[in-house]
Amino acid sequence: MWLVFLCMLIAFGIERHLQAKKSAAASQAITQAVSSLAHQDESHTYDLAYKSAWIAIRHDSVSSDAIEQMLTNHHSRAEVLLFKPIQEWTILLADELPDLSEPAEDDRLLMMLEDLSKIFGEVQYFANCRTVEYYAWVKYTEGKMQRAYSYVWETMLNEGEQTKSEEVHVPEYVSEGELLPDEELVLAIVQDWSILPEGLVLEKSIKTS
């Protein structure tokens, strides 16, 4: 009996170790991708749909002061790229933000999105990073979570009811009862929820100390 218990402990330890490595890889991949984009020439236009994670705000006048204050409130030292609005949406790209690849970090990011949503109304977060199989989509409205899903080789977070977009697209990606998302599923949801982050023009780079 003790041998079975010991084997279970070892298996649990290995699983936790592998999960930590997956989470770290996802966070590192996002940070590296964002950092490389953050130092492009000012005339450069940005396409963030792949190998990236971004925040979409349904507001065409997002104050950089509000973003900086939000980062300060949450003790984040991220560098944020604030892009010029497209239609009614403003896109934010940031390095070193908490993400949804590690359960311990979920609350930090979700609290930031909640605070932004209280200020601007509707806020969304997406991750689409095939290299480490990190995919996520989150929607907040008026400070309340509507939907939150994340995946890093397995489902990490699944809260709220599926949206109509998911009801349409997700069945194609379910195998033996398990959701196996990919880049195209994320982008299909992005297009239904908001706007593809393509052809973006930098408005301002915001750094917190």
Low-confidence ranges of the chain (pLDDT < 50): 1-22
Residue 26, exposed/middle/buried by CB under 10 A (0-12, 13-18, 19+)? buried
Q: What is the structure's pLDDT at 14?
A: 32
pLDDT tens digits along 15-41: 343 444 445 555 555 555 555 555 555
Residues 112, 76 contacting (CB under 8 angstroms): yes
Residues 21 and 196: their CA atoms lie apart, in Å, by 30
Cα separations in angstroms, 4 against 7, 39, 97: 5, 53, 40
Q: What is the structure's pLDDT at 20?
A: 45
Residues 199 and 86: their CA atoms lie apart, in Å, by 9
Task: Find residue 55's DSSP bridge partners.
Answer: 92, 125
Residues 180 and 117: their CA atoms lie apart, in Å, by 29
0.75 surpassed by pTM = yes
Task: Find residue 200's DSSP bridge partners.
Answer: 46
Q: What is the structure's pLDDT at 206?
A: 85
The SS3 call for residue 151 is strand
Helices (H), 74-182: 103-120, 164-169
The SS3 call for residue 40 is coil
